[in-house]
């Protein structure tokens, strides 16, 4: 059984951040989307999406 390790999770953040930035562009967001964080992880991916929306669509 896998044991959760917060340090391992944090260490993988740079790769996650890279992937999410590539993924956000592929979503072809229009600016009227809403972002909800369902509580899985540390919220940094959600923050990345919100930051993108704020910069691109000037929220």
On the question of pLDDT at 59 being above 70, the answer is no
State pLDDT tens for residues 2-15.
Answer: 887 888 877 887 88
State pLDDT tens for residues 13-56.
Answer: 788 888 888 988 898 888 887 777 777 777 888 888 888 888 88
More confident residue, 25 or 59: 25
CA 47/CA 26 separation, integer angstroms:
17
Q: What angle do CA 51, 14, 57 make, to 5 degrees?
A: 15
pLDDT at 9: 78
């Amino acid at each position: 059984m896998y044991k959760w390790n917060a340090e391992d999770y944090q260490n993988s953040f740079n790769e996650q951040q890279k992937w999410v930035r590539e993924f956000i562009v592929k979503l072809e967001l229009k600016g009227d989307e809403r972002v909800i964080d369902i509580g899985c992880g540390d919220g940094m991916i959600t923050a990345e999406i919100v930051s993108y929306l704020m910069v691109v669509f000037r929220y």
